[in-house]
Amino acid sequence: MQVSVEASQGLERTLTITVAAEQFEKEFDGRIRQLSKTQRVDGFRPGKVPVSVIKKRFGAAIENEVAGEVMQRNFFEAIVAEKLNPAGAPKVAPKARKKGEEFTFTATFEVYPDVKLAELAELTLEKETAEVTDADLDKMLDTLRKQHATWSDVEVDSVDGNQVTVDFEGSIDGEVFEGGKAEGFQIVLGSGRMIPGFESGIVGNKVGSEFTLDVNFPEDYHAENLKGKAAQFVIKLTKVEEQILPEITEEFVKKFGVESGDIEALKTDVKQNMQRELEQVLKNSAKDVVLTALVAGNEIEVPKALIEGEVTILRKQAMERYGKQMDPKNLPELPAELFAEQAEKRVKVGLLLGEVIKGNELKVDQDKVTALIESAASAYENPTEVIEYYKNNKEMMQNMENVALEEQAVDFIIEKAKVSEVNKSFDDVMNKMAAQ
């Protein structure tokens, strides 16, 4: 086998591989002889079909089959010999040959880049910190009360926080638009559910009031035909209700799985859940800061094949999400451009983190794996069963080990980088996560 390597552009490499005629013909003839012993052909006894008949009938197909196997085997031998690391499947192209001639083919592919990390000590990171205060806990308890609130009719001017029932009809330039009409429609004023100006326009009106609101649809409104349009709504207010929050009684506490009905036990459970969620969000925030800084601080060329692979994964995930909301058959093919930027970042992150792990000889910390599994299991009713499930599932354990090693790499970078802490409130951190 003869091999030549050409670096065409960027990470692309083209191998020209030549296989001796004797080797190719030997494999071809061997395949012909084997087929002559097993192939059934009318007029000949089994195992007695002449080689010439087999060649005439199946020669072209066998030659293509042998060529495919020869290219695959010799390609792998060549990349090992040339110490090349392909980042994707090669595009192979055999050259025309005549019987008795050597077999030549080309294989074009991209290689992984040679990653050289900038000094981690030069990275500047801003890490968020927060804690769950008594005020945060009280606010969460109020949220739980609101989830079990009831509504009572009132005969006063409506205010933010009231639930109102309205009939409305919307029009643009005097024409009623599709979806702009409803009867018995309920809204909690101040919830931000409707377009700007709609809810605030109802505030201050009583039951039985009929009035007209002039509002504008946002420029980024989901319906293309309504974006940025000025609209007029004729509204009739048919009911105003105020929220009645339940008292925190023993019965109320038991609704959240606290069999004792003890309010302090409920507070303990709620605070633990809040702290667990906060820690996870802070960890994710720190990871995002680290990875963004790592990518910004290290310019690397990325193989297009890897980006295309990530685009495929992201597109599939998006289709699965949308498929839960509508019939997958009606979903259009999402364009690659929607995912290109995210896919490229993910590839860069993978390459850079891989270099951090390899360059610093980081190994999976099994204690960390155990802690991650226990943390995930704590959210379930029977944590022990979940832990055992992980331990008995090789794929799940491998995934968790990958997560642990990635977190170890992120922690390693934080230890080496210049880090400043920014204290945030519980609400600031959690609302930011919700917005993302």
Checking if the pLDDT of 357 tops 70, the result is yes
Residues 364-385 have a mean pLDDT of: 90
Burial zone of 228 (CB within 10 Å; 0-12 exposed, 13-18 middle, 19+ buried): exposed
DSSP 239-250: EEEEEEPPP--H
Checking if the pLDDT of 328 tops 70, the result is no
Q: Give the confidence band of 327 by pLDDT, cuts at 50, 70, 90.
A: low
The label of the residue with tokens 């309920």 reads 186
Q: Which residue has the higher pLDDT, 328 or 422?
A: 422
Nearest in space to 13 (alpha carbons), one of 130, 91, 103: 91
Checking if the pLDDT of 263 tops 80, the result is yes
Q: What are phi and psi of 239, to 5 degrees?
A: -160, 140
pLDDT of residue 93: 94
Q: Count Cα atoms within 13 angstroms, Cβ side, for 72.
A: 6
- CA geometry: angle at 312 spanning 310 and 315, to 5°? 105
d(CA 222, CA 228): 11
> Residue 327: how many CB atoms within 10 A of its CB?
7
Q: Give the confidence band of 364 by pLDDT, cuts at 50, 70, 90.
A: very high
Checking if the pLDDT of 202 tops 80, the result is yes
The label of the residue with tokens 């354990």 reads 397
The label of the residue with tokens 């609130």 reads 149
Structural tokens at position 181: 């009409």
Mean pLDDT of all residues belonging to the chain: 91
Q: Which amino acid is at 209?
A: S
**Predicted confidence (pLDDT) per residue in 4-31, tens digit:** 999 878 899 999 999 999 999 898 888 8
**Predicted confidence (pLDDT) per residue in 55-114, tens digit:** 777 878 888 888 999 999 999 999 999 999 999 999 999 998 888 889 999 999 999 999
Nearest in space to 8 (alpha carbons), one of 16, 298, 75: 16
**Predicted confidence (pLDDT) per residue in 138-165, tens digit:** 999 999 999 999 999 999 999 999 999 9
pTM for this entry: 0.73
